A = this chain, B = another copy of it.
Amino acid sequence: MSAMEKKLLVIDVDAGVDDAVALMMALGAPNVEVLGITCCFGNTSVDNVCKNVLRVLQKCNSLQIPVYKGASSPFLNNPKSDNYFGKDGLGDIPDLDAPELDKLQQEHAVPAMIRIINQLPGQVTLVATAPLTNLALAVKMDPSLPMKIKNLFMMGGNMNSRGNMDACSEFNFAADPEAAYTVLNEYICPTYIATWEFVCMYTLSWEFYEQWTSQNSNKAKFLREINAYTVANLKKHVQKSTTLFWTPGYMPSDCFAIAAAIENDFITKTIVCAVSVELAGFHTRGMMVLDVDNKLQKKNQVSIMMECNVEKFKILLINSLK
């Protein structure tokens, strides 16, 4: 395989443990070249996100990949985090060897994203696993940007009004609804969305989780450590919940976006329709709206992931920790 045939990725993250796994999945894939990683607030502050990305790159011997600091807050609101992955986003465990922030690029994430994509028009796949603030700012600064993107894969939003943030909203969209709206309306490139309900359909059993993270590797050890806090909370929470619409287990949400970006036939079924984001509701602010009957008469349509190849997913996950 020549370098030209590799999938060229820019990944926008709010790492976050599941972003960390998603990054390891991309870094572990032989057919992928990561051109840059852009950081956004989300699971934790953007400064923590930057540090976390550097820590992941260090574990993967990939500190040569440029990392860019981006938005520290959503367009309108104060940033909110649910500390799902701990206060620092990676389980609040000490890391004495963590790289310094001076390893970050000086360039801001938004002009960096614009520059990289403009240098390789039509060749870059953008993967977004964070609030969409950086992507929204990029298209406002360069309205022609979406035309130069090969594909956009994202984890975010919901398709059946189930929420993990508010009653009807998913975290990445609810964290910056205006940015999500802007991206869904202005990114006219081929777009594939892993929604909250989609990732809930593919919860992995704790048996698989144990097997997966018990590999004898530094990466597996790292993941076990940074995920200990969340796994413990998740098991506790599930015992209380009585109205779950998903099977209890491990949900590597952001990894579905990466897996779809790097494996051509990973997604086996989609719904193709126009989508939008509700901005004004009392209960539904941040909810993704599917226009399955074309009532909004929008031109741009996206592919909502409905089914995927679980076995391939497990192989990707296992390889990512090798």
Cβ–Cβ contact B243 & A167, under 8 A: no
Cβ–Cβ contact A110 & B243, under 8 A: no
Among listed A54-62, A87-95, A249-257, A269-277, interface-contacting one? A269-277
- Docked complex: A272-312 residues within 8 A CB-CB of B: 272-273, 276, 278-285, 287, 289-296
- CB contact between A289 and one of B137, B160, B161, B182 (< 8 Å): that residue: B161
In the complex, 30 of the A-B residue pairs with CB atoms within 8 angstroms, ordered by the A residue number, are A71-B140, A73-B140, A75-B140, A76-B178, A76-B181, A76-B279, A137-B137, A137-B140, A160-B160, A160-B161, A161-B287, A161-B289, A161-B290, A163-B295, A166-B295, A167-B291, A167-B292, A167-B296, A168-B289, A178-B178, A243-B292, A276-B283, A278-B282, A279-B280, A280-B280, A280-B281, A281-B281, A281-B282, A281-B284, A284-B284
Interface assignment of A120: CB less than 8 Å from any CB of chain B = no
Interface assignment of A241: CB less than 8 Å from any CB of chain B = yes
- Taking CB atoms, residues of chain B closer than 8 Å to A185 are 76
- Taking CB atoms, residues of chain B closer than 8 Å to A244 are 292
8 more CB-based (< 8 A) A-B contacts, given A278-B284, A279-B282, A283-B289: A108-B141, A160-B160, A161-B290, A166-B295, A167-B295, A243-B273, A279-B279, A281-B285
- Taking CB atoms, residues of chain B closer than 8 Å to A141 are 108, 110, 137
Interface assignment of A162: CB less than 8 Å from any CB of chain B = yes
Interface assignment of A133: CB less than 8 Å from any CB of chain B = yes
- Taking CB atoms, residues of chain B closer than 8 Å to A289 are 161, 167-168, 283-284
Q: Smallest Cβ distance from A295 to chain B, in angstroms?
A: 5
- Taking CB atoms, residues of chain B closer than 8 Å to A75 are 75, 136, 140, 178, 182
Q: For the complex, give the distance between the alpha carbons of A289 and B284 in Å.
A: 8
- Taking CB atoms, residues of chain B closer than 8 Å to A162 are 290, 292
